[in-house]
Amino acid sequence: MKNSDPLRGFTLIEVLIALACVALLTTLAWPSYQSLMARSQRAQARASLLQAAHWFERAASANGSYPLAADVPVSVLQIDGQRYKMTFASTAQSFTLSATPLGAQATDVCGILTINHLGVRNVQGASQTSAQCWSR
């Protein structure tokens, strides 16, 4: 019995070319992926700030003044993802909520996100405007 078509595999050159293509695609895609993850975490922080601001407004409607630090449950200040830490300052007539980036998110172009009792959205230490950071 003649075997005219022996089983063939990939040559070393073919495997190296395929690995080089994968490495090139990965090198090009990684920064986009990192940027997308940062934007996703920033969106989560914005949503959590808005939820906390609504909580403060509901508490003020019910009690006639904004709650002070001792009256705010820890769950109100939590942001999913562990990439931002929410803090606040409040008096009976006002509040300001801030989301400070942590860890890998600390280099985010939007810096610290803030919102106050008037609904004014702002950023601190950012290379972009507050409109750019709060809209995307």
Whole-angstrom distance, CA of residue 110 vs CA of residue 50: 17
1-10, 38-47, 107-116: which has the minimum mean pLDDT? 1-10
User: Are the C-beta atoms of 73 and 58 separated by less than 8 Å?
Assistant: no
Is residue 96 very low, low, confident or very high in pLDDT (cuts 50, 70, 90)?
very high
- What is the pTM assigned to this prediction? 0.79
Burial class (CB in 10 A: 0-12, 13-18, 19+), 39: middle
What are the C-alpha distances in Å from 31 to residues 25, 62, 80, 84?
A: 11, 47, 23, 21
Give yes or no for residue 84 having a pLDDT over 80.
Answer: yes
Q: Which fold has domain 12-135?
A: Glycoprotein, Type 4 Pilin (3.30.700)
38-80 pLDDT tens trace: 899 999 999 999 999 999 999 999 999 999 888 999 999 998 8
Residues 19, 32, 99: CA angle, nearest 5 degrees: 140
Average pLDDT over residues 78-88: 90
Taking the CA atoms of residue 120, residue 82, residue 109 and residue 89 in that order, the dihedral angle to the nearest 10 degrees is 30
Give yes or no for residue 7 having a pLDDT over 90.
Answer: no
Model pLDDT, residue 3: 56
